[in-house]
Structure 1
Amino acid sequence: MSEHRHASARPSATGPWVIDTRDLGRRAGSSRAYRRSVPAEGVGLLGVIAVPPGGEVDLDVLLESVVEGVLVTGRASTAVEGECSRCLEPLTDEVAVELTELYAYPDSATDETTEEDEVSRLADDLVDLEPVVRDAIVLALPQVPLCSPDCPGLCVDCGGRLAELGPDHGHETMDPRWAALQERFGGNRDNPEEN
């Protein structure tokens, strides 16, 4: 496998999402657990629901050496903020995702026989968890977040929150074809004595 193929996916050895697997070794069955919190501001659906400024993702993962690479299993969790798609009120939620990802060794059979975007790869014995965790969190987030499943939304006439306005909230509407007559003759059609 050429070095060029791996160049675009090369992680930084110092990033908080990156784990060095050299101490794990390549003996199948050896494993090591990692727990860490990593900065993750903006992870999610930007403008809809995402990790807030200063937010972190908590990682609890097990790296296990297997014949074809390093298998990462575990969990990532974080708090997210956004706004309700119906009533536009701010909302917060917790998201937890299960992770299972194989990072193929360079020149392994898996590396040689799969397309670049089909499997993650080790680069210089480093595992970069960020793309996998980001993708998993985005897929777990609701595309249409709601403050509650039965949120009634906003009044189309006044923009008020229907949950706060009450069940008898309404607006008098007049058929525009009759509005011209009322303007011309004035008065209140509900109370003929005022005409």
Structure 2
Amino acid sequence: MSEHRHATARPHTTGPWVIDTRDLGRRPGSSRGFRKTVPAPAGFGLVDVISVPEGGDVELDLLLEAVMEGVLVSGTATAATEGECSRCLEALSEQVEVEITELYAYPHSTTDSTTDEDEVSRVVDDLIDLEPVVRDAIVLALPQVPLCSEDCQGLCPGCGGKRAELGPDHGHETIDPRWAALQERFGEDQDNTDNSEEN
């Protein structure tokens, strides 16, 4: 099951992420497949780092199984992600696929009565909400520090250009700030000397 837990909320009675389990029944061993493309809500990922764009397609390929304690949901969720490289700020577009295995506990089951609210998902009015489970799985699968490549050299701190495009000889002259004022004064004196010679 997902390691990153979520508080159980009462599912909306309708919505692309909500499944009605009444046609599954509660006889242990009964099952049915669930394949659907659903839109990603806002904040589906690591905000400002990498995420599934709001409204982007999330492909669900799941199996729902009735077990003694509830409904076991297993399968995969796949989506395209967008973000930027943490070193060079290059735009990134990748695909993430996560494995889902989650038990939704029946009301008044042993699991329901012996676990805290945020420890396990629940079946509420025969409905299960897939969004929190899939969201948690995707967040855990995304890189905390996305990179365009493992050997990305990042940006030049002097000019902001991409090091990979600037070449090995690129560099900037650095002046000790203690000497900067003196060099500036010598520069002014040299300019004055040149002007005097011209006159």
TM-score by length of 1: 0.89
* Count of paired positions: 180
Which residue pairs with 1:175 in the alignment? 176
Please name the residue that 2:4 is paired with: none
Equivalent in the alignment of 1:37: 37
C-alpha distance in structure 1 between counterparts of 2:34 and 2:173, whole Å:
62
1:62 aligns with 2:31: no
Distance in 1, matches of 2:174 and 2:108, equals 72
Cα RMSD for the two superposed structures: 1.3
SS for the counterpart of 1:37 is strand
1:181: how far off?
2.4
Alignment of 1:136-147 (within 5 A): 136-147=137-148
Matched with 1:105 is 106
Aligned to 1:96: 97
Aligned to 2:133: 132
Aligned to 1:192: none
Greater Cα offset, 64-73 or 12-21 = 12-21
CA shift, 1:41, in A, is 4.2
> Does the 8 Å CA contact 2:105/2:123 hold for their aligned counterparts?
yes
Q: Deviations over 1:151-191 (max 9, x none)?
A: 1111011111111111111001111222222222238xxxx
Residue by residue over 1:66-99, the C-alpha shift from the partner in whole angstroms, topping out at 9 and shown as x without a partner, is: 0000000000010000111111111111100000
- Whether the aligned pair in 1 keeps the contact of 2:39 and 2:54 (CA below 8 Å) is no
Does the 8 A contact of 1:41 with 1:56 survive in 2? no
The TM-score normalised by the length of structure 2 is 0.87
Secondary structure of the corresponding residue to residue 115 of structure 1: coil
| Matches of 1:101 and 1:156, distance apart in 2 | 46
Point out which structure has higher relative CO (alpha carbons under 8 A, 6+ apart). Answer: 2
Q: For residues 154 and 179 of structure 1, what CA distance do their matches in structure 2 show?
A: 25
Structure 2: where are the runs of 5+ without partners? 1-7, 192-199
Deviations 1:91-127 (A, max 9, x none): 1111000000000000000000000000000001111
Gaps in structure 1 of 5+ consecutive residues: 1-7, 188-195
CA distance in 2, matches of 1:23, 1:53: 31
> Which residue in the other structure is 1:21 paired with?
21
Percent identical residues: 74
Distance 1:163 1:17 in 2: 43
d(CA) in 2 for partners of 1:10, 1:53:
22
